[in-house]
Amino acid sequence: GLSSEWNHSLSKKIHYNLSFSLVDAKRNTYYGSHKDLNAYGNTKNPLLFLNCQLNYQIGSHVFSLGVQYKRDKIKDEATGYNRIIEDVYHESGFFIQDDFKISKVFSLLTGVRLNKHSALDKNIFTPRLSILFNITKYLAFRTSFSTGFRAPQVFDEDLHITQVGGEGMIITNSPDLNVEKSFSISSGLDYGKQIKRNLIQLSLETFYTQLTDTFVLHEVSRIENARILERINGFGSKVYGFSIDFGLVLGPKFSLASGWTIQRTRL
């Protein structure tokens, strides 16, 4: 892979960032069992990402404008199943956000992003909002609302996971497949205190995500060594749960980090 980043301040109030990354991933794989010769395959997945962002401070506001571009090329071959997936996806986005420090203890961040994906006919707006309230010097409350989407694509790691179980899949997208959208809310408390060279941190968070037009697979037919599946839209689903993260640093030689998450999914 290759990456580069440039940061430059034009003045005390104006700053910009330019960055790019290029990853050329190649894999020779075997996702079978019982010496199944059909389970050999190879994947080539070069990924290019470009980013340009400008930050401008006006009083208690920091406004950010940005443009991003991603090119994702995938070629996945499983000759034993007579399956070749070869696609190129282009995604570009323009975003604007306002980080408003209302007071010493209260901050509000709002933003919106306009997304254009080559697999979609229409542009998609994804707004977001987050609030930060510093209750004390060591304790802060945060809450956020965000939206997202997933564009239709044929390649899916679920295909390989199923092959690990000894069965292959050939997946196609329904011609009526719509974009999957998500709406998420999360809230949490963060505690952190440094005592001389020691540090203790604790975070509690609850989260809830509602998905619409959830992608699901249904079986169309079977061939000798694989299932033929079609990706369609379901009615929707939701994911919710609770997480705890704990960190402890005792001097320069000892650190401990631990986390627990309880999550449930409902269709």
Query: How many other C-beta atoms lie within 10 A of the C-beta of residue 160?
Result: 19
Structure tokens given for 126: 């994804």
172 band by pLDDT with thresholds 50, 70 and 90: confident
Task: Judge: domain 2-266, CATH 3.30.450.20.
Answer: no
Three-state secondary-structure class, residue 164? helix
Structure tokens given for 146: 């965000």
The 10s digit of each residue's pLDDT in 52-98 is: 999 999 999 999 999 999 999 988 887 766 778 888 999 999 999 99
Higher pLDDT, 30 or 70: 70
Higher pLDDT, 112 or 217: 112
Whether residue 165 is predicted with pLDDT greater than 70 in this model: the reply is no
Q: What whole-number distance in Å separates Cα of residue 43 and Cα of residue 159?
A: 13
Q: What whole-number distance in Å separates Cα of residue 261 and Cα of residue 206?
A: 10
User: CA torsion angle for 172, 160, 164, 168 (degrees, to 10)?
Assistant: 20
Three-state secondary-structure class, residue 37? helix
187 band by pLDDT with thresholds 50, 70 and 90: very high
Contacts of 207 (CB under 8 A, 6+ apart): 184, 185, 186, 239, 240, 241, 242, 243
H or E stretch covering 29: strand 14-30
Share of the chain above pLDDT 90, in %: 67
Average pLDDT over all residues of the chain: 90
Q: For the full predicted model, state whether its pTM sits above 0.75.
A: yes
Q: Which of 165, 155, 33, 177 is nearest to 89 (CA)?
A: 155
Model pLDDT, residue 36: 65
162 band by pLDDT with thresholds 50, 70 and 90: low
Q: What whole-number distance in Å separates Cα of residue 178 and Cα of residue 215?
A: 9
DSSP state of 165: T
The strand order across the sheet containing 215-223 reads 168-173, 226-233, 215-223
Structure tokens given for 143: 């809450």
Three-state secondary-structure class, residue 163? helix
The strand order across the sheet containing 237-250 reads 2-9, 14-30, 40-58, 61-78, 83-101, 106-117, 124-134, 139-150, 180-195, 198-212, 237-250, 254-266
Query: How far is CA 82 from each of CA 20, 219, 225, rounded to the nearest angstrom?
Result: 36, 18, 10
